[in-house]
Homo-oligomer: A and B are copies of this chain.
Amino acid sequence: MRPTVHDIAAAAGVSLATVDRVLNQRPGVRLVTREKVEAAIRQIGYIRDVAAANLAKSRVYPLVFIVPTGDNSFMHGLRFEVHQATLRASIERTDIRIIEVPPFDVPALVAALDALQGQDIAGVALVATDAPEVRAAVDRLVSERIPVVTLVSDLTDSRRHHYAGIDNIAAGRTAARLLGRFLGGREGDLTVLAGSMLVRDHRERLQGFSAVIAEEFPRLRVLPVLEGRDDPERTQSLISKALSENRNIIGIYSLGAGNRGLIAGLKAVRPERELTVVVHELTRHTRAALLDGTIDAVLNQDAGHEVRSAIRVMKATADGQAVIADQERIRLDIFLKDNLP
């Protein structure tokens, strides 16, 4: 049987009320008594029953998710997963509020963050836009002892408690190696397609990608980035133009969203041009393209895992509890046509 507050009281030779004062850091306990109780807690190995405590407190965790609007598949999926989490909210004692902000809009994001100050909130998860103003706003929340978790896109040098997302440099490096190896020893050009170089995760992916190509695949050359702004039509025209103007392109790395346009562009030149293609984010479209051979590999981050992990971490942080670090590591999924879920 696991020890309870009663056991602490008996072991320390004090009353239940005093134990409660120590455990919940209430005033009115002499230092010597406090130390006596703390020693007893350590000695008998007491661990607070969080479920019982939450019951007694009628604890709920008011959580806020700040996610960008925008209609690309990934953000759509992310919002869907947050919404799924709201359906489990009562069971998990959470109360999830979703705030949507325009993408890449730093002032809007900062305003949303600042509006949370002073509110009774057990945690904030946000898809961070990498800007000093955002960093400062996040740090302000942390100063108010509000747990902050970055989601999908991190905010370096900020005081956020946790990042629930993949290592984007590693993702870019992995994409490079896959492309490089799939291309055997062939020589030629690689086109990189991004949403916007303003987003940190896209920059990091490109950085990792370029590094590995330069270091280990000297016969391949990375062309200047095409910015499709996650817009299928723009993406399609960009890629079609690039392919027709440069016959040396033998590989494509699409590190952002807007893959619908890429796939359409590829299908247009399909039988003639032999292209090796690695893209990010598993969607209905990329899945189909992977299966029919239009693309060769999909790198993915599981939005559902990210959301659930963020919730677990926010709750644990709010309670000052430890997390199972290994469980909260978000993994880069690599999908070939054979291991699709």
What are the residues of chain B within 8 A of A49 when measuring CB–CB?
55
Chain B residues near A296 (CB-CB < 8 A):
181
- CB nearest neighbor in B for A208: B338
When the two chains form their complex, are residues B47 and A338 in contact, meaning their CB atoms are under 8 A apart? no
Tell me how many residues of A have a C-beta within 8 Å of chain B: 44
**Contact segment of A126-134, A261-269, A328-336:** A328-336
Contacts of A173 in B (CB 8 A): 338-339
A182 — which chain B residues lie within 8 A by C-beta? Answer: 181-182
A2 to B54, CA, bound (A): 14
Residue of B305, B333, B339 touching A167 (CB-CB under 8 A): B339
State whether A308 and B336 are in contact (beta carbons under 8 Å apart), knowing that A51-B51, A55-B55 are contacts in the complex.
no
Give complex CA distance A170, B339 in Å. Answer: 5
Identify the closest chain B residue to A51 (Cβ).
B51
B residues near A334, Cβ cutoff 8 Å: 334, 339
A55 lies within 8 A of B51 (CB): yes
Task: Confirm or deny: A52 has a beta carbon within 8 angstroms of a beta carbon on chain B.
Answer: yes
Within 8 A of B (CB), among A299-341: 304-305, 308, 324, 326-327, 329, 331-334, 336-339, 341
1/0 contact trace for A205-236 toward B, CB 8 Å? 00010001000000000000000000000000
Enumerate chain B residues within 8 angstroms of A176, measured Cβ to Cβ: 338
Decide if B338 touches A177 in the complex (CB within 8 Å): yes
Contact B181 A339 (CB under 8 A): no
Chain B residues lying within 8 Å of A90, measured Cβ to Cβ, are 2, 47
Residue of B nearest to A276 (CB): B181
Interface bits A172-203 vs B (CB < 8 Å: 1, else 0): 01101110011111100000000000000000
A115 on the B face (CB < 8 A) = no
Cβ of A289 within 8 Å of any chain B Cβ, yes or no, is no
Given A51-B51, A339-B167, verify A308-B327 contact (CB < 8 Å).
Answer: yes
Contact of A336 among B47, B52, B177, B329 (CB under 8 A): B177
Q: Counting CB contacts under 8 A, is A171 at the interface?
A: yes
* New A-B contacts (9) at CB < 8 Å, excluding given A174-B338, A208-B338: A47-B91, A49-B55, A55-B55, A170-B338, A171-B339, A177-B337, A181-B181, A181-B182, A184-B185
Chain A contact residues, CB within 8 Å of chain B:
2, 47, 49-52, 54-55, 88, 90-91, 167, 170-171, 173-174, 176-178, 181-186, 208, 212, 296, 304-305, 308, 324, 326-327, 329, 331-334, 336-339, 341
Q: List 7 A-B contacts (CB under 8 A).
A: A47-B90, A171-B339, A177-B338, A184-B184, A184-B186, A208-B338, A212-B338
